[in-house]
Amino acid sequence: MNFEFSEEQNMLREQAQGFLASNCSMAVVRRVLDGDEPYDADLWKKVAEMGWTATVIPEEYEGLGLSYLELSVIAEELGRALAPIPFSSSVYLATEAILAAGSEEQKQAYLPGLAAGTSIGCFALGESAGQTSPASLTTKADGSSITGIKIPVADGDVANFAIVVGRSDKGDGASLYIVDLDQDGVSRESITTIDPSRSHAKLTLNAAGAQLLGNDGEGWSHVQSILNRAAVLFAWEQVGGCDTALNMAKEYAMGRFAFGRPIATYQAIKHKLANIYVKNTLARSNCYYGAWAISTDADELPIAAATARVSAIQAYYYASKENVQTHGGMGFTWEFDCQFPYRRSKLLATNIGSEATWQDKLITAIEKQRAA
Amino acid sequence: MDFNDTAVEATFREEVRTWLSANIPTPDDLKGLDYIGRAKLWQKRKYDAGWACIRWPKEHGGRNASAIDQVIWNQEESKFDTPDSIFGIGHGMCAPTMMAWATDEQNKNYIPKLASGEDVWCQLFSEPAGGSDLAALRTSAEKDGDDWIINGQKIWTSGAHYSDYGVLVLRTDPTAPKHQGLTYFFIDMKSAGIEVKPIRQISGGANFNEVYFTDVRVSDSQRLGAVGQGWQVALTTLMNERASIGGGGGGVNFDSVFDLATRVNIDDAPAIEDKNVRAQLATWYAQESGLKFNGYRSMTALSRGEIPGPENSIGKLVGAPKQQDMASFALDLLESGGAIWDPELSEAAGMFQATYMASPGLRIAGGTDEIMANIIAERVLGLPQDIRVDKGIPFNEVPTSNS
């Protein structure tokens, strides 16, 4: 049994923690949230220079060719720091889409830029409120041009290109397209979300130039496998954030006195924090499972991904809301940092499909496994 | 990361499997024996072949095996249908305490018989006035020559009715503050003046007892630790209480409720197609999976010769309420049929009903949910202890009721 990260991976974690402690404090998150900059460009540049954006990209495309275990470590640390950069869009989604479905030419064209962080990708799936399915898609390509509206698109305002999911008359009813966002047929507007420390946009595609990614009519199946892999990495970000919320709550409870003693001595607070710890721990152990499944390309990936995703969504929501509660009125003020994990937990929970959606996926995956 | 054994572990697992397959008691072996007889037969068979209490030193009847070997043994043994053990408390709690605190002579006399299953031991800690607040126990021992004379009552004593020996904590100085007036002993359960009365549980079973002591004599030579050091000795016992990992759990789990949901209908379709049922099942699956992989992380630590991290402390706190909620959910899925608890007539031979009735006990035994949460808050997260109004006060001056 070896169900732990290796010594090298733990060293990477230490390095990442040290780097983020000095380059991505809560003050940085606050600056992006409060200000006009869509993301911390300086942090992004440094992250890219350290090769984090290149982690799993093969060396032949100028990546580092490391495993998903290394990327898991980085994801957890970025989640812990609530880093205000387009990492998840570019690395967990756009890079994965091109690795999974890209032709040799497309890989050559896009992966080196993604690896270097000079190019930012995003993933454009949703079009309106509610679940997206091939039947609900209205975005559609006509030859090499595509038309439709995508909202919300995480990092759509800062990305260089988007992986756009469009409707198809063939196969599974959907196809993927690469759409360069700096062109006449594309207009994009920034939109306000519950977490302004991560920018989002509305993309309007009006006969925009698009190239098919993968085969026409195989898009939905690609979307599923891309989301499964992204779910594991999102879950690592989420458990990192869970720890941050727990630590905030703990620090405050130890220092805040009421009725002549620290509120951390009251069982009402202790049990709350113990419950946060329990949920975080279950979610983290499920993330280990997810990391194992993604790094070995295991058949169980759909189950492992949904398991990690469901428990990470639940844990982060619980940790972030009870962190606000532990702080009392101060937790509700703009001045305190409790708002950041509370915002981020819901953003990450909705970004690639909700708790209910993934609960259903989990049972479906289990049904499939049993039928096999 | 991988789930595989190291080469050494794989060899050990194979050896365990081979021995188990060849030696599991057959129905013929067990014919005519009650559960005590069956448990003793299986234990003796393991002992004779050197497979009992494998982590214990050889001179105490074990085989000096490592912690990871113990986990492997537990995993393999749990795959077979073996007689239910009645030795968990004796092996898991009493023996480690004896080995830490008794004389070599005493250990030589008592421990091998514990390993072989010849003797069964119980733990007499809880009292009517000392449960979660264990150190508030009141059963007294007064010195009389070379003996002590015990008076009082213990409660929730599992297996007292078939035990040969017991370990117990007694109040030897009521004028000292709570934790300082306690002394620890082991005792022959057949001593004159001990009366064991089974307690009938809401589940219908009677696994534990009230134990009354009336002028019971115990020799001072059966004292473990110094007079007044009983709490410290008791901590040795308690630390061993939840130290075991590996093996399997019975009762209601994801699989059994999932299967049930494919057999009963909601709105004329299998319940498993209902979105609420799927959501609820998914949450429980994720919890079960989290516990399983916590176990793997602990095993990894053991395999590397390290001590498992605190993630191992959450099993009971998650598992017990989960069993209760899942059993309750299963009964709801059965609609009015959920009320039927007749093995002949109910789904899964009454297993869901049995778990529904047994699970409240799981949330209390061995530390209530609330105590477990305190332990996590204080020992894992490092939060300060609650204020104790009885701290430093002579025990006989601590308030015990409103009057």
Kindly state the tokens that stand for B377: 């808050």
Whether residue A270 and residue B258 make contact (CB cut-off 8 A), yes or no, is no
The minimal CB distance from B383 to the residues A270, A311, A362 is found for: A270
**Four-residue CA torsion sign, B257, B277, A277, A267:** negative
From chain A, the residues in CB contact with B384 under 8 A are 254, 262, 264-265
Separation between Cα atoms, residue A294 and residue A291, nearest integer Å: 5
**Any A CB within 8 A of B162 CB:** no
Structure tokens at B108: 């030589």
3-state secondary structure A224-290: HHHHHHHHHHHHHHHHHHHHHHHHHHHHHHHHCEECCEEHHHCHHHHHHHHHHHHHHHHHHHHHHHH
Question: For residue B78, what are its two tokens?
Answer: 């749990």
Question: Which residues of chain B have a pLDDT value below 50?
Answer: 243-248
Both tokens assigned to B186: 């082991």
Position B250 scores a pLDDT of 63
Cβ within 8 Å of B, A 332-371: 355-356, 358-360, 362-363, 366-367
ipTM above 0.90, yes or no: yes
Residue B185 DSSP code: E
Instruction: Note the pLDDT tens digit of each residue in B16-64.
Output: 999 999 999 999 999 999 999 999 999 999 999 999 999 999 999 999 9
Omega within 30 of 0 (cis) for the link into B270: no
The pLDDT tens digits for B104-144 are: 999 999 999 999 999 999 999 999 998 999 999 999 999 99
pLDDT tens digits, residue range A100-115?
Answer: 999 999 999 999 999 9
Catalytic residue, candidates B241, B311, B344, B378: B241
Distance CA B355, CA B203 (A): 9
Q: Of B68, B285, B370, which is closest to A307 when you measure between CB atoms?
A: B285
Nearest C-alpha of chain B: how many angstroms from A187? Answer: 38
SS3 content of chain B, % helix, strand, coil (to 5): 50, 15, 35
User: Which chain B residues touch A368 with a CB distance below 8 Å?
Assistant: none
CB contact under 8 A, A277 and B314: yes
Cα(B236)–Cα(B89) distance, integer angstroms: 13
At B394 the pLDDT is 95
In Å, what is the CA distance from A325 to each residue of A254, A260, A331?
Answer: 15, 20, 7
Please tell me whether residue A187 adopts helix, strand or coil conformation.
Answer: strand
Half-sphere exposure of B343 (CA within 13 A, CB side): 1
Contact call for B282 and A288, based on CB within 8 A? no
| Model pLDDT, residue A83 | 98
| Torsion of the alpha carbons at B287, B289, B295 and B297, rounded to the nearest 10 | -110
Residues A84/A29, Cβ–Cβ less than 8 Å = yes
Take residue A158 and report the two structure tokens written for it.
């800062």
| Interchain contact, A307 vs B303, CB within 8 Å | no
A275–B386 C-beta distance less than 8 A = no
CA–CA separation, B21 and B17 (whole Å): 6
Q: Which pair of structure tokens corresponds to residue A236?
A: 């690592």
Interface membership of B3 toward A (CB under 8 Å): yes
Structural domain spans, chain A: 7-116, 121-216, 220-371
A258/B contact by beta carbon, under 8 A: no
Q: Are B376 and A264 in contact (CB < 8 Å)?
A: no
Distance from CA of B85 to the nearest CA of A (A): 27
Q: What is the pLDDT of residue A123?
A: 98
Amino acid B245: pLDDT: 39
A282/B300 Cβ within 8 A: no
Q: How far apart are CA A220 and CA A164, in angstroms?
A: 11
Residues of A in contact with B290 (CB under 8 A): 281-283, 285-286, 311
- Whether the CB of A88 is below 8 Å from some CB of chain B: the reply is no
Residue type at A66 in one-letter notation: L
* CATH placement of domain A121-216: 2.40.110.10
Question: What is the pairing mode between strands B269-270 and B265-266?
Answer: antiparallel
Name which of A131, A236, A265, A285 to mutate to probe chain B: the one with the most chain B Cβ atoms within 10 A of its Cβ.
A285
Residue A133's H or E segment, with its range, is none
- Label residue B47 exposed, middle or buried (CB < 10 Å: 0-12, 13-18, 19+): buried
Domains in chain B: boundaries: 7-85, 121-239, 254-365
Question: Chain B partners of A2 at a C-beta cutoff of 8 Å?
Answer: 1-2, 4, 300, 303
| Apex B147 CA angle, B158 and B393, nearest 5 | 70
The structure's pTM equals: 0.94
Domain A7-116 has CATH 3.40.50.2020: no
pLDDT reported for residue A305? 98
Q: Are A124 and A157 in contact (CB under 8 A)?
A: no
Q: Tell me how far the alpha carbon of residue A288 is from its chain's centroid.
A: 17
Residue B152, classed as helix, strand or coil, is strand
Superfamily (CATH H level) for A220-371: Butyryl-CoA Dehydrogenase, subunit A, domain 3 (1.20.140.10)
Min Cα distance A282 → chain B (Å) is: 4
CB within 8 Å: A265 and B272: no
Query: What letter would DSSP give residue B216?
Result: E
B241 catalytically annotated: yes
Residue-wise DSSP of B22-81: HHSPPHHHHTT--HHHHHHHHHHHHHHTT-SSTTS-GGGTS----HHHHHHHHHHHHTS-
Which alpha helices (H) appear in B304-365, and where do they start and end? 315-333, 351-362
Closest CA to A320 of A250, A270, A249: A249
Looking at the complex, does the CB of residue A316 fall below 8 Å from at least one CB of chain B? no
CA angle A207/A213/A217 to nearest 5° reads 90
Chain B contact for A44 (CB, 8 A cutoff): no
CATH number of the domain at B254-365, out of 3.10.450.50, 1.20.1740.10, 3.40.50.800, 1.20.140.10? Answer: 1.20.140.10
For residue B380, give the DSSP letter.
I
- In whole angstroms, give the CA distance from residue B200 to residue B386: 34
Using an 8 Å CB-CB cutoff, list chain B residues near A360: 275, 278-279, 282
> For residues B154 and B131, is the Cβ–Cβ distance under 8 A?
no
Interface check A55 vs B, CB under 8 A: no
Enter the tokens of residue B349.
Answer: 């031979």
Alpha-carbon torsion (B329, B325, A359, A355), positive or negative: positive
Tell me how far apart the alpha carbons of residues B205 and B49 are, in angstroms, rounded to a whole number: 34
Residue B344 in contact with partner chain A when CB distance is under 8 A: no
Residues of A in contact with B372 (CB under 8 A): 274
- Chain A partners of B1 at a C-beta cutoff of 8 Å? 2-5, 69, 288, 291-292, 295
Residues of B in contact with A273 (CB under 8 A): 377, 381, 383
Pick the CATH number of B121-239 from 4.10.640.10, 3.40.920.10, 2.115.10.20, 2.40.110.10: 2.40.110.10
Per the rule left: phi > 0, alpha: psi between -120 and 50, beta: everything else, B171 is: beta
Instruction: Say how far apart CA B172 and CA A15 lie, in whole Å.
Output: 56
Q: Which residues 256-285 on chain B approach chain A with CB closer than 8 angstroms?
A: 258, 272, 275, 278-279, 281-283, 285
- Residue B336 sits at the chain A interface (C-beta within 8 Å): no
Q: Which of B383, B387, B391 to mutate to test the interface with A (most CBs of A within 10 A)?
A: B383
Are A345 and A272 in contact by the 8 Å Cβ rule? The answer is no
Q: Which residues of chain A have pLDDT under 70?
A: none
Q: Is there a contact between A1 and B378 if contact means CB atoms under 8 Å apart?
A: no
Distance of CA B6 to the CA centre of its chain: 30
Centre a 10 Å sphere on the Cβ of residue B305 and count the other Cβ atoms it contains. Answer: 9
* CA A225/CA A234 separation, integer angstroms: 14
Whole-number Cα distances in Å, B368 to A21, B91, B210, B231, B286? 39, 22, 19, 20, 23
- Decide: A319 and A246 in contact? Cβ < 8 Å: yes
